[in-house]
Structure 1
Amino acid sequence: MSKDHIEYDASHIQVLEGLEAIRKRPGMYVGSDGERGLHQLVFEVADRAVNEVLAGRAGAVDVTLTADGSVRVADDGPALPAEEADALLCRLPAGRRHAGRHVVALGLGGTGLCVANALSSRLTTELRHDGVRVLREYERGEEVTPPAPAGPASGTGTMITFRPDPEIFGTAAYAFDVLADRFRELAFLNRALDVTLTDRRTAAEPRSERFRFPDGAREFVAFLGAGAGAPVHPEVFGFEREVPAMGGTVEVALRWHDSPGERVLSFANSSPTPDGGTHAEGLRQGLAAAVGAFAGARVPPPSAEPGSAAFGVGEGLVAVVSVKLDRPEFRGVAHAVLGGPASVRGGVAEAVREELGARFARDRETAAAVVGRLLRGSRRA
């Protein structure tokens, strides 16, 4: 050991508390101090409003990128009580929130409003209730204007406007399409959701998109398959059902196309699982069972590994599998893979086998078209 070794004791430890910790290490809470972090701020603020809609307490969420660089998130549900607003804006939760099946978590850690407050040069809340507008203002997480009436109001709702701190994010800017992709995805996965995203940053006509999809995952698959070649069957097949054995619900939508490759997206409690997991494995097992039962020996049997080239049911497939679980279990800190008990894999597989098998029994023309498509794909392989 070198004689010039560095002494290290308790005096070298820096203890950061509350919002100070967020400002010191923003990447730990929103992923980066650049564009990605800006997008996460929007999602953290929108998280609460989205869940108000899904709970039936609000009708819609409006997200606006304003001309001065701020972001405004508004909903028409009951206004936040003052005490709850103070807690959400000023106190860091004790740990990561693990959402049950009825709660959507948009942000990285579910830490929500306090992160946006700490990383904003200015944040304003407007609460509308009992015919009155109540405003409250913060700068870099510190209250500068206590709650104060600001005139009459019609209806109820909560509006939060924040401007990301340039000391943290520099000149990074929001990408409308990135925000739109995530809100669109959430609306596909949650039929009750109604979100409008508007960009007013330029003097030209504002750009605005509304995301509301009453047909859920079926519309998602139609959207994903727009450039996937001619469909083998005209209608998107889909279903949603409760699976008590796995403690949740599964929604599946799919369509085969006359094009190579496959595109299968999986989600757990509305969060993307890009590396799959037990729900994606269950989807493939159920598809193989349903197709195999109809086709018999004409379709090559699946290999032991669902991702291998011999697993023929994926050829030309565009599909979405979404599970909503009371207690989701993920592998790794990135939550990219759904783990959990075998009941998730088995529950999804059984539901797909039964639902798709029943569809094939009712519509043998569609079943024959699918089998023919898979046979052509297996011969090319």
Structure 2
Amino acid sequence: MLTSGEELRQAIRRRPGMYIGDTYGYGLTRLAESLLLLGVIAGREGRVREISLTLGADGSCGISFDGWPWPRPSGTSLIKDVGQWLTFVNFDMNAETRPGMPRGVIFPVPYVDLGLVNALASSLEVVAWAGGQRWRQRFREGLPQGEPHAVAPGAEPSASETGLHITFMPDATIFDPSSRFSVKWLRGRLASFSAFHAGITWRLRDEATGLDERYRRERGLPDYCVELSDSSQPIHSPWSFEGQAGTTRVRLALQWGEALGHGVRSWANLRECTLDGTHHDGLVLGLRKALRARMKARGPGQDELSFTDAALLRHLTAVVELVVPHTVWHGPTQEELANPEAKADVSQLVSAWVEQALANHPELESRVLALSGVPRS
């Protein structure tokens, strides 16, 4: 049983694969994801407007936030505050996340993952700034190398009044020297993160290849839906909805197109559900209820069509984000959501949303019904 931060640091260095999966590209990328998750939380709470991730040509990784990514500490300097997370001073094995807050990539409380990154780094440097002052502190293998110190004013100008920058070098005695961060995977994560938080800029730079990309969606999920449905010949602009049923909060954007749709992309507490799950069943059930309700409104006997799953999804592109108190997964790979309440909650919301949207757009209703399997009269 780990009882102190130092015991945890040593345990992480002894058995890194137990915490990050492996010591190759997958494990490396999990470290970068841990830092990005801080940006997700900060963006959701309105603390930052831009998050920038840089992969150095030397194998290092750095992240910058143009604001303080968690609540400002009271009575503690910014640099000491982040230093406490980096060294597990705030470590509590029994701590739980607030309901609806995404858990960390490794630990339940996201900020504790900073200590894991630090423990697996041969070197780590953190720079914090606020009110025209800057401070720096360096670490090695998770241990501080001296006290934080001030940086001369103007020596390293920044565009934001308050912010944080962390740069680390993965420990070559732990990670395979030939392994690299997965740029492809990180690009996918930033693409989805920008959909969850409208107006937040995510930047990815890879010094080895010269890659420099920005991800920003002014409308969030609807913009992502437009991108995914581009080849489906959409018949309307995305419909977007947001609401809560029970303990399940849902954000949804969807479009129907004349050609085949992109299908359903979904995330639960920021983790992508690549194998669908109970929420997907709820989405399909909700669509079926909505379409049958609109058929029934046309007259007696019109609601007898069953609407198969394949027909409902054939011309549809949908993007779904769920926030639940705690995720339940089917199997160890965490790809298929198994929360039992998600089916009924999602179905309730989707059926009401889509039924009302169709009623409000009679010029589209007949076409949507036809694309979903209703024979032409």
Matched AA of 1:317? L
Corresponding position of 1:135: 136
User: Which of 234, 237, 241 is 1:239 aligned to?
Assistant: 241
State TM-score, norm by structure 1.
0.82
Q: Does 1:145 align with 2:146?
A: yes
Corresponding position of 1:290: 290
Corresponding position of 1:175: 182
Equivalent-residue separation in structure 2 for 1:269 and 1:187 (angstroms): 15
Q: 1:178 to 1:327 in 2, by over 3 A?
A: closer
Q: Does 1:158 align with 2:159?
A: no
Q: 1:327 to 1:18 in 2, by over 3 A?
A: closer
Equivalent-residue separation in structure 1 for 2:96 and 2:188 (angstroms): 23
Question: What are the ranges of 5 or more consecutive residues in structure 2 without an aligned counterpart?
Answer: 1-5, 297-301
Equivalent-residue separation in structure 2 for 1:157 and 1:188 (angstroms): 23
Corresponding position of 1:319: 318
Corresponding position of 2:78: 81
Over residues 140-182 of structure 1, what are the superposed CA-to-partner deviations in whole Å (9 max), with x where a residue is unaligned?
Answer: 1122232111212562211100011122222111232221110
Give the conservation status (yes or no) of the 8 Å contact 1:43–1:106. no
Q: 1:213 to 1:141 in 2, by over 3 A?
A: same
Fraction of identical pairs, as percent = 26
Matched AA of 1:224? L
Give the conservation status (yes or no) of the 8 Å contact 2:79–2:135. no
Give the conservation status (yes or no) of the 8 Å contact 1:122–1:162. yes
Moved more, 259-268 or 344-353: 259-268
Give the conservation status (yes or no) of the 8 Å contact 1:120–1:141. yes
Corresponding position of 2:277: 277
Q: Does 1:116 align with 2:117?
A: yes
What secondary structure is seen at the aligned counterpart in 1 of 2:147?
strand
Give the conservation status (yes or no) of the 8 Å contact 1:50–1:104. no
Corresponding position of 2:3: none
What secondary structure is seen at the aligned counterpart in 2 of 1:184?
helix
Equivalent-residue separation in structure 1 for 2:13 and 2:259 (angstroms): 49
Over residues 5-31 of structure 1, what are the superposed CA-to-partner deviations in whole Å (9 max), with x where a residue is unaligned?
Answer: xxxxxxxxxxx9321211222222222
Matched AA of 1:237? W
User: Which of 61, 64, 75 is 2:51 aligned to?
Assistant: 61
Q: Does 1:33 align with 2:23?
A: yes
What secondary structure is seen at the aligned counterpart in 2 of 1:253?
strand
Give the conservation status (yes or no) of the 8 Å contact 2:261–2:317. no
Give the conservation status (yes or no) of the 8 Å contact 1:100–1:269. no
Matched AA of 1:353? S
Equivalent-residue separation in structure 2 for 1:58 and 1:222 (angstroms): 25
Q: 1:327 to 1:284 in 2, by over 3 A?
A: same
Shift of 1:108: 4.2
Equivalent-residue separation in structure 1 for 2:288 and 2:7 (angstroms): 53
Question: What are the ranges of 5 or more consecutive residues in structure 1 without an aligned counterpart?
Answer: 1-15, 303-308
Q: 1:174 to 1:96 in 2, by over 3 A?
A: farther
Equivalent-residue separation in structure 1 for 2:134 and 2:365 (angstroms): 59
Matched AA of 1:238? S
Shift of 1:44: 1.1
Equivalent-residue separation in structure 2 for 1:262 and 1:195 (angstroms): 24
Q: Does 1:188 align with 2:187?
A: no
Shift of 1:40: 0.9
Root mean square deviation of aligned Cα = 2.8
Equivalent-residue separation in structure 2 for 1:130 and 1:362 (angstroms): 51
Corresponding position of 1:215: 219
Equivalent-residue separation in structure 1 for 2:248 and 2:327 (angstroms): 9
Equivalent-residue separation in structure 2 for 1:131 and 1:311 (angstroms): 59
Give the conservation status (yes or no) of the 8 Å contact 2:122–2:170. yes
1:294-313 counterparts in 2 under 5 A? 294-296=294-296, 297=302, 300-302=305-307, 312-313=311-312
Over residues 323-346 of structure 1, what are the superposed CA-to-partner deviations in whole Å (9 max), with x where a residue is unaligned?
Answer: 22344444555443334453x332
Corresponding position of 1:254: 254
Corresponding position of 1:199: 206
Over residues 100-136 of structure 1, what are the superposed CA-to-partner deviations in whole Å (9 max), with x where a residue is unaligned?
Answer: 32x3456244441111111111100111134222111
State TM-score, norm by structure 2.
0.82
